[in-house]
Amino acid sequence: MSQWTDRRLLDLLGIDLPIIQAPMAGATDSAMVIAASRAGALGSLPCAMLSPEQIRHEVQVIRSATHNPLNLNFFCHQLHPVDAERETRWKHALQPYYRELGADFNAPTPVSSRAPFDETACQLVEELRPEVVSFHFGLPEPALLARVKASGAQVLSSASNVDEALWLEERGCDAIIAMGYEAGGHRAIFLSEDLNSQVGTLALVPQVVDAVKVPVIAAGGIGDARGIVAALALGASAAQLGTAYLFTPEAKISAAHHKALRSAKDSQTALTNVFTGRPARSIINRVIRELGPVSPLAPAFPRAGGALLPLRAKDEADFSNLWSGQALRLGVEKPAYELTLSLAEQALAQLHRR
């Protein structure tokens, strides 16, 4: 398919389709990456919840299945010192649920695992040489970023408003993901903590396109070919889709998450910090309704999640994060390869009908 008029990102990353299968920590493994990549999209492996050995293994599996470009995705949040008093208050807020579900309140609180990009991750990038590295929550420290770029990787990161996009461009990002308010999972937000600074995709994408010189990737609420065509019309060079890929059999999500995605309405997601301490869009469940959506008690990212783990083990539907974007009703159950091809074919058909 060579009929795409804006080839900036396609040529930069060496991909055939202006589609990025979004990295989704906890939901994406090599199977989804391989399927999307074989279809011509950019396959993205989320690394924030994987150990170095797991990353190495997943990359090996992907490389043995396809030689197409690969995106490794990392978080680069600042780790805050542990605030013991806040952690205690948070656990006490959860105590009634521990009692109700018969979870052991006095057992040590498990630690939630989401690691920021560090020396070990940087060495992995240098070893594994992905063609693309994408970051969430800003960028790593300059020395590490310089090494990622020196490895030959194209660097992407997500911006949730124009200030963040300019900040990323100034520091050398090769393309910017404009992540609208509608998006599922964690907000990219990193220059402030004010959720009023978050802009919807339709408003965000053209303003970012006007502000930066590098190619822009639209993300958030893009659930089908119409969304891709709209993103391209707004000046984006590609679209990154997350929630749409949660409906594929390759998505590694719980039965409860699966069920919620299929039954929730567009009006039933919220930005919440109760699962990790950072704002993220999830389908609304009991813990969000009763303690959130935004709780001042939740410890800083990613520690809020630890105290929820024993509850989640008892009741996945009510106590686990059910990440989803607002376009969930557009989801269709198709394997990731077929989904990617049909999105591209339908988008091209719509573009050429104009």
CB of 135 to ligand FMN, least distance (A): 7
Selected from 40, 185, 215, 277, the binder of ligand FMN by CB under 6 A is 185
Half-sphere exposure of 71 (CA within 13 A, CB side): 31
Per CB under 6 A, contacts with ligand FMN among 96-125 are none
307: Cβ–Cβ under 8 A, 6 or more apart, which residues?
Answer: 87, 90, 91, 94, 109, 110
Of 103 and 325, the one with the shorter C-beta distance to ligand FMN is 325
For 341, the token pair is 């091809």
Q: Where are the alpha helices (DSSP H) in the chain?
A: 8-13, 30-39, 52-65, 84-101, 119-128, 142-150, 162-170, 201-211, 225-233, 243-246, 255-263, 286-291, 309-314, 316-319, 336-353
CB of 1 to ligand FMN, least distance (A): 21
Q: Which span (61-69, 202-210, 323-331, 332-340) binds ligand FMN, by CB under 6 A?
A: 323-331
Q: Which of 228, 80, 240, 227 is nearest to 159 (CA)?
A: 240
Residue 282-321 contact track with ligand FMN, rule CB under 6 A, x = bound: ----------------------------------------
Tokens standing for 197? 């600074």
Q: Is 279 in the site for ligand FMN (CB under 6 A)?
A: no
b/e for 234-258, b at 16 or more Cβ within 10 A? bbbbbbbbbbbbbbbebbebeebbe
In degrees and rounded to multiples of 5, residue 21 shows phi and psi of -70, 115
In angstroms, what is the minimal distance from the CB of 72 to ligand FMN? 11
Measure the CA–CA gap between 302 and 76, rounded to whole angstroms: 12
Contact pick of 174, 182, 250, 318 for ligand FMN (by CB under 6 A)? 182
Q: How far is the CB of 185 from ligand FMN (least distance, A)?
A: 2
Pick the binder of ligand FMN from 12, 22, 148, 212 (CB under 6 A).
22
Return contacts of 85-93, CB within 8 angstroms, 24+ apart: 86/297, 86/299, 87/299, 87/303, 87/307, 89/297, 90/295, 90/297, 90/298, 90/299, 90/304, 90/307, 91/307, 93/291, 93/295, 93/297
| Out of 9, 156, 179, 298, the residue judged to bind ligand FMN by CB under 6 A | 179
Question: How far apart (Å, rounded) are the C-alpha atoms in residues 148 and 143?
Answer: 9
Shortest distance (Å) from residue 99 CB to ligand FMN: 30
The one-letter code for the residue type at 94 is L
SS3 (DSSP) at 80: coil
- CB 193 to ligand FMN: min, Å: 18
**CB of 75 vs ligand FMN, minimal distance in Å:** 7
Residues 66-85 binding ligand FMN (CB under 6 A) are: 73
Mask for 131-150, x = binds ligand FMN (CB under 6 A): -----x--------------
Residue from 306, 323, 336, 339 in contact with ligand FMN (CB under 6 A) = 323
Task: Give the binding-site size for ligand FMN (rule: CB under 6 A).
Answer: 28
Q: Closest CB to ligand FMN among 48 and 144?
A: 48
Q: In this chain, which of 9, 25, 125, 229 binds ligand FMN, going by CB under 6 A?
A: 25
Applying the rule CB under 6 A, the residues between 191 and 250 that interact with ligand FMN are: 219-222, 240-244
* Residues near ligand FMN (CB under 6 A): 22-25, 27, 46, 48, 73, 136, 158, 179, 182-185, 219-222, 240-244, 323-325, 327
